[in-house]
Amino acid sequence: MAGERTEASPPDLEGAFAKQQETLRSHSFQLVRLQNQIQQLQNKHLQDVEEKADMMAEIHRSRSEIAYLKGRLACLAVEFYSTSTCAATNHHAPSRSFNGSATDYAQKEPTEEKTDRPCMATVEALRAAVEQMADRLLSEQRPFLMRVLQDFASELDPLLLQLGNGENKAG
């Protein structure tokens, strides 16, 4: 009986060893496939990070351009109203004379301040108009920016789900 077990044992051992080798090979292929999937996910994540950085740079650039345009518009508005107001005040306001005494200069100063008040009021009114225009420009750009962010988020969701499923299977 002991001899029969010895003769029967080698085929059983060989079968178990072959099964073990097949399982090992199968697991090796699965590991390689998982490593490839991980590499693909990492590459996609890096690409998404780069796209996000590009998008943030575009948003920053847009904001900078809007701020620049706000400044230019304010400058042009002030320049326009300053030249038109100065032209109007030059026709109506007396010119300063420095040949007179200090008392004469002090008496003429309030007259010119009165003509500057409407100019300052106009500048203040224009400032509000410039702010409204800048807000309108921002509100026009907001749907575009929101659409880009939503597209980015919709592309990111499947990747996060894939990462979550991969971790659950590995764990």
What is the reported pLDDT for 84?
A: 65
Residue 28, token pair as written in the block: 């090796």
Q: Read off the pLDDT band of 85 (50, 70, 90).
A: low
What is the reported pLDDT for 115?
A: 53
Region 157-168: mean pLDDT is 66
Residue 63, token pair as written in the block: 């904001």
Helices H, strands E: what count in the chain? 2, 0
Q: Read off the pLDDT band of 101 (50, 70, 90).
A: very low
What is the reported pLDDT for 49?
A: 93
Region 30-37: mean pLDDT is 96
Task: Answer whether residue 165 shows pLDDT above 70.
Answer: no
Of 110, 112, 121, the closest CA to residue 86 belongs to: 112
Task: Answer whether residue 129 shows pLDDT above 80.
Answer: no
Q: Read off the pLDDT band of 102 (50, 70, 90).
A: very low
- 156: Cβ contacts below 8 Å, ≥ 6 apart: 48
Distance between CA atoms of 147 and 6, rounded to whole angstroms? Answer: 74
What is the reported pLDDT for 117?
A: 66
Distance between CA atoms of 107 and 110, rounded to whole angstroms? Answer: 7
